[in-house]
Amino acid sequence: MSDKLVRSVVSPFGEVWVPKRGEAQVAHLGSEVAEYFGGGIALRRGDVVLDIGANVGVFAMHAATVADDLTIVCAEPIPLIFEALERNFATHGALRKTRHELVRAGITEEREVGEMEFTYFERLPCDSTRHMDEKRRQFERFFAALGSRARTVLSKGGLPGRIAGAGMERAIASLPKGPIGQWASDRALGATLARAPMITVDTLVSKARVDRVDLLKIDVEGAEVDVLRGVSDVLWPRVRQVALEGHDENGRAREVKHLLESKGFTVDVSTPEIGKERGLDNFLAFARRSYD
C-alpha cells in the first residue's frame, strides 16, 4: 500500500482511507453525498449502481447503507484516489458486502476515448479535474465570496472597519488571479498532473457485465455533459435513475436537464446550500423514469 494514504474519520462512516493532505476536504463528503438521496433517489435490494467520479468511495458507502445486495461499479481516474478507493472496498464493512467492479478510468463520450491529462490537487482531491480553466474560475468565485464575507464582518466596526473590510475583500479576491496568483494557488493546493484512460459508460457497463443501471451517479468536475453524451441509445432505456452534481457554466444545468428529458426522464434541478455559501454555481440534477 502507498505511504501516501492515511486513515481519516468521515462521518458517519468511521475511518476511511484517503490521500494524505486531502483529509480536511474528504471529511465533509459524508454530508455532501447525503444530498443525492435527499432529492428523491431511491435504491432497492439488488440494484446496480454506477458511480462515475467515485473518489474514495464515500457515495458508495452511503448507497450500501440504503439498500442490501447492491452491485456497485466505480470509475475513478486519479491514481492515488483510485488506490484509496480500492483500499476502502477491501477494508470498509459497508463496501466489502457489495458486489463491485472498480475501474481506473475517466468517463467521456465516444469521440474522446483514449487517454487524457488530469490535474490532481493534493489538498482538494475532490476538485481534481481535466477542465482546469473552469476550475480556476470556480476558485476565483470562491475567493470573491470569501472576501465579501470578510468585508461584511469587518464593516460592523464602523468607518475604520468598512475601510479595512474593503481592502481585505480586494486582497482575498485577488489571491488566485493572474500568473503569480495561479502559480501560488497551484503550489498551495499541491497541483500535479496525472494521465488516465478514457472510456464510455457503455464500455464500463460491459466491463462490469451488468444488464441494467438502477442509478447512474455522476460527479466529474466539468465533464458531466461528456459522460451523458457517451451513453448509447441502446443503454439509455436500461437506466432507471440519474443523480448528477455539476457547475452551471454556460447554461450547463439547462443542457443537462434537456438532455435527460429527451431520454424519457422526469428531471428536477436544485442548488445545494453549500454551493450558495461558497459563492459557487453548483447544481444537483435528479432524473427518474416516469414509470418509477
Give the pLDDT score at 59. 95
Give the pLDDT score at 221. 87
Question: For residues 110 and 10, what is the distance between their CA atoms, to the nearest angstrom?
Answer: 36
Residues 77 and 171 in one domain: no
- 275 vs 20, higher pLDDT: 20
* Structural domain contains residue 124: no
Give the pLDDT score at 231. 97
With beta carbons less than 8 A apart as the criterion, state whether 107 and 199 touch: yes
Residues 156 and 109 in one domain: no
Residues 199 and 183 in one domain: no
What is the grid cell recorded at 170?
480586494
pLDDT tens, residue by residue, 48-94: 999 999 999 999 999 999 999 999 999 999 999 999 999 999 999 99
pLDDT tens, residue by residue, 144-181: 665 566 567 667 777 666 666 565 556 545 656 777 67
Residues 165 and 203 in one domain: no
Give the pLDDT score at 124. 87
Q: Which of 156, 189, 222 is the last residue of a domain?
A: 189
Give the pLDDT score at 149. 63
With beta carbons less than 8 A apart as the criterion, state whether 148 and 168 touch: no
Give the pLDDT score at 164. 60
Domain that includes residue 205, residue range:
5-118+193-289
Give the pLDDT score at 184. 73
Dihedral angle over CA of 133, 261, 58, 109, nearest 10: -50
Backbone dihedral angles phi then psi of residue 19, each to the nearest 5 degrees: -65, 135
Give the pLDDT score at 156. 73
Which of 33-42, 58-67, 123-132, 266-275 has the largest mean confidence?
58-67
pTM: 0.86
Residues 19 and 90 in one domain: yes
Give the pLDDT score at 215. 97
- DSSP per residue over 224-258, as a string? HHHHHHTS-TTTGGGB-EEEEEEE-GGGHHHHHHH
- Res. 15: pLDDT tops 80: yes
* Structural domain contains residue 201: yes
Decide: residue 260, CB within 10 A, 0-12 exposed, 13-18 middle, 19+ buried: buried
Residues 97 and 232 in one domain: yes
Give the pLDDT score at 3. 86
For the chain, give the percent of residues with pLDDT over 70.
82
Question: For residues 159 and 112, what is the distance between their CA atoms, to the nearest angstrom?
Answer: 56
Residues 21 and 165 in one domain: no
Which of 269, 244, 196, 247 is closest to 52 using CA atoms? Answer: 244
* Structural domain contains residue 243: yes
- Res. 41: pLDDT tops 60: yes
Q: Which of 171, 189, 207 is the last residue of a domain?
A: 189
- The sign of the dihedral angle between the CA atoms of 234, 235, 236, 237 is positive
Question: For residues 51 and 219, what is the distance between their CA atoms, to the nearest angstrom?
Answer: 8
* pLDDT band for position 273 (cuts 50, 70, 90): low
Residues 60 and 169 in one domain: no
What is the grid cell recorded at 126?
475532490
* Structural domain contains residue 183: yes
Number of domains in the chain: 2
**SS3 for 67?**
coil
Give the pLDDT score at 94. 94
Question: For residues 121 and 187, what is the distance between their CA atoms, to the nearest angstrom?
Answer: 9
| % helix, strand, coil for the chain, step of 5 | 45, 25, 30
The DSSP call for residue 151 is H
Give the pLDDT score at 242. 97
Could you tell me whether strands 265-270 and 282-289 are parallel, antiparallel, or unpaired per DSSP bridges? antiparallel
Out of 15-19, 207-211, 219-223, pick the least confident: 219-223
